Homo-oligomer: A and B are copies of this chain.
Amino acid sequence: MTKASTFDRKGRATIVDVGRVAGVSDATVSRALNKPETVSAKTRARIEAAIAETGYVPNPLAKAMVSGRTYTIGALVPTLNHSIFSKFLHALESDLSDQGYNLVVAVTDADRDREVEKAKKLLAMGVEGLIVSGLSHNADLLREAARFAVPLIATSYYEPSAPLPTIGYDNKIVATQALAHLTALGHRRIAVAHGPVAGNDRTRSRIDALADPGEGASLTFYETTLDYAGGAAVVDRLEGPYSALLCLSDVLAVGALFQLRSLGKRVPEDISLMGFDDLDASQFTVPPLSTVRLPIQDMGRVTARAVCDFLDSGSPIAPRLLEAQVIARASTGAVPLAPGASDNPRGS
């Protein structure tokens, strides 16, 4: 008895130890733990006592090893510093958790290589599913996921013809919706502010959709950094008589709003301002910001359900289009009637 116990490296008791002090086999202990009704009350009591005495706690790794399951899903996001992604993860985690799954998150900093690298790490730790943001074109990612035979889902994007299931909104349609809101108000000369295009296919899609605006509208694009300062900077760079500024992200719009105000420009009297995302703050700015509400919560929910359904019952993961919605608030208004400023045949 000097040291007959089977302790693991951390000095913790194993199921065998419990069995020994309870005077039963390890298999019985296992049963008492997993199917209590198949064990007599008496021995069950002895086992429980033994568990308490030894301080036994099941080894998760061993369980996972035999079941072959980790109940863990991995998510790759460009950043956690933008609420759009953290909100998504919040919703994702909640639903995943409800279904008994855990969420591992990895930040890619919008770097394709880092994305693959981190994906590998997640795969190597045993995630059963991988969720990425946008339609990554890095073939390695697809291949790695395939090697490990785990489902790979792209979010914030809807593209049924993609090589992997996409769950999200159609960035082209969404951009078009926003533009339609502005043209309906009579705007023709519009400035568009957007974040870096490199490595961001959502932004790319939105811009592409705007390339041929129709309606006699003319758009000018301004790329900037994706933060408040970036939005403010665009305002300083603005050239020409724009009647509206469309920001492909509320963060930019809020930044722009502050800068416009500092310059003494009135919104929407002097220029209409529209955003994208519908941040919490957007309804509280002065004036409240017109924007496009992206279905972020739904996206988290739907994505979680899709992976879990696949993992639990093998249901294939289908692409899913979620709808965005234009929220018209006070930051956009009819284009001012400047004589000779446009060829638009309205009013007096």
Report which A residues bind B (CB closer than 8 A). 8-12, 55, 57-58, 60-62, 64-65, 68, 70-72, 79-81, 83, 85-87, 89-90, 93-94, 97, 102-107, 118, 121-126, 147-149, 227-229, 232, 254-255, 258, 261-262, 280-281, 283-286
Contacts and interface: CB of A to CB of B under 8 A. Distances in A.
Contact of A64 (B61, B123, B232): B61
Given A86-B80, A121-B97, A284-B229, A106 B103 contact: yes
A147 B254 contact: no
B126 A107 contact: no
Given A65-B65, A262-B286, A281-B281, 17 more contacts: A10-B149, A12-B149, A61-B68, A61-B126, A71-B125, A80-B87, A80-B89, A81-B83, A81-B86, A81-B280, A89-B105, A93-B105, A97-B106, A228-B281, A254-B281, A258-B285, A261-B286
A90 B61 contact: no
28 contacts: A10-B149, A12-B149, A57-B147, A58-B124, A60-B124, A61-B64, A61-B65, A61-B70, A61-B126, A62-B65, A64-B64, A64-B65, A71-B125, A80-B93, A81-B83, A81-B86, A83-B83, A86-B86, A89-B105, A97-B106, A97-B107, A102-B122, A105-B105, A228-B280, A228-B284, A229-B284, A254-B281, A258-B284
Contacts of A60: 70, 123-126
